[in-house]
Amino acid sequence: MKGLTVGQCSGIGWAGATTCVSGIVCNKQNDWYSQCIPGTATTTTSTTTSITVPTNTTTAETNQPTSSGTELPVGTLYTGCKVSGTVAITFDDGPYQWTSALIDSLDAAGAKTTFFMCGKLYGCIYDYANVVKKAHASGHQVAAHTWSHSDLTTLSVADVQRQMTKINTAFQKILGIKSKWMRPPYGAANAQVLTTPRKYGLQGCNSVATSQSIFNALGNDPKIVPLEHDALQTTAQTLGPWIANWAKQKGLKTVTLSECMGEPIPSGQYTTVGGATTKDSTWVC
């Protein structure tokens, strides 16, 4: 998996890192979320990171890159976008009722983003299959946020694998692909999670007004990976489209996570495992 420069750092039930990289401050948003956001304090030090590792499949990769680039090596940590002039907006916790209209807004702004989706959080992913297809068809990257948004550090190896297998099975049925990217809920990752053949990242949440002031204070080429939540109405309807237009006004290209990392598209994003299937009795949560 690959890295982020913002993420959750505290809150009720939080099991991940409680510090941020130098120059990024852990700010309380509410009792559930404190987030690493740009600031002047330098008293914190550490891990808003992600890592990439291979997915297991018995089907050969058939996707061919449509742009130049190199897939990120296995097990390497990153802290932000690698490609200058890009910003990778990411959305967690969907799909949900606000996601479809958000995609329309992003498309109107010419923005390509990454959706880290759950199988069963705000409803069942199969009930939002058309939204998943819409995101993918519009050129947004579809990635995994586990099946049921469980804290992976509290699960057995077998249960962690089930969390990832079930969400990728849904992607396989709906889209005919398996995601090469995953973000663990709550940013919670231990040695067991890291050695599982998956990818992980961090998550957090801001109010609309606070987020807008933060983005306005950033430099011309921040190489950031903003993390938002399309399951939140204010984010989906206001903040997400605002960030896309903010990037455009700064002359930044809003791209998928793989593209901002310099990976080939789509082979850096997905393994193709055959075509999408027809909805049947197995499309249930």
d(CA 137, CA 227): 22
Residue 44 inside a domain? The answer is no
Task: For residue 231, give the nearest of 255, 259, 260, 203 by alpha carbon.
Answer: 203
Residue 92 annotated to the active site: yes
Neighbours of 95 (CB within 10 A): 29
d(CA 231, CA 36): 20
What is the average pLDDT across 136-145?
Answer: 94
What is the average pLDDT across 170-186?
Answer: 89
Same domain, 186 and 107: yes
Confidence tier at 73 by pLDDT (50, 70, 90): low
What is the average pLDDT across 65-83?
Answer: 64
Same domain, 98 and 232: yes
Residue 279 inside a domain? The answer is no
Per the structure block, which two tokens stand in for 62?
Answer: 């058939």
What is the average pLDDT across 70-75?
Answer: 63
Query: What CATH number corresponds to the domain at position 94?
Result: 3.20.20.370
Residue 229 annotated to the active site: yes
Same domain, 14 and 97: no
Residues 6+ apart with CB under 8 A from 205: 8, 29, 30, 32, 33, 35, 228, 229, 232, 235
Q: pLDDT for 106-132, tens place per residue?
A: 999 999 999 999 999 999 999 999 999
Range of the domain at 23: 7-38
Among 93, 140, 229, 230, the one annotated catalytic: 229
Same domain, 16 and 156: no
Dihedrals φ, ψ of 270, to 5°? -140, 155
Reported as half-sphere exposure (CB side, CA atoms, 13 A), residue 225 has a value of 32
Same domain, 108 and 15: no
Same domain, 207 and 91: yes
Task: For residue 163, give the nearest of 205, 127, 117, 206 by alpha carbon.
Answer: 117
Same domain, 25 and 164: no
The count of structural domains within the chain is: 2
Same domain, 135 and 27: no
